Amino acid sequence: MKYAQVKSTAAILHKIENIEKEVLDLKLSILKDISPAKKSVISLKGIIKGVNITEEEIASAKKSLS
């Protein structure tokens, strides 16, 4: 009788593992569907057209980052 109980416990654990794998696959599938496929690169070229940036401003900006 004990052998049958162990066998059924092993079968239940196997089924749980399969369910966990299916849930993980479902999560990944849903994440793929809701995430954007490819983000387009936005060019910032020309956004500061006509603005002159001095070396002092660059040095100040670098200093503020460190």
Cα–Cα distance, 14 to 48 (Å, whole number): 61
What percent of the chain lies above the pLDDT cut of 70? 86
pLDDT value at residue 17: 95
What are the start-end ranges of the H helices in the chain? 2-34, 55-65
* pLDDT for 1 beyond 60: no
pTM, whole model, 2 decimals?
0.45
pLDDT value at residue 26: 95
- pLDDT digit string, tens, across residues 16-49: 999 999 999 999 998 888 876 677 777 777 777 7
pLDDT value at residue 24: 95
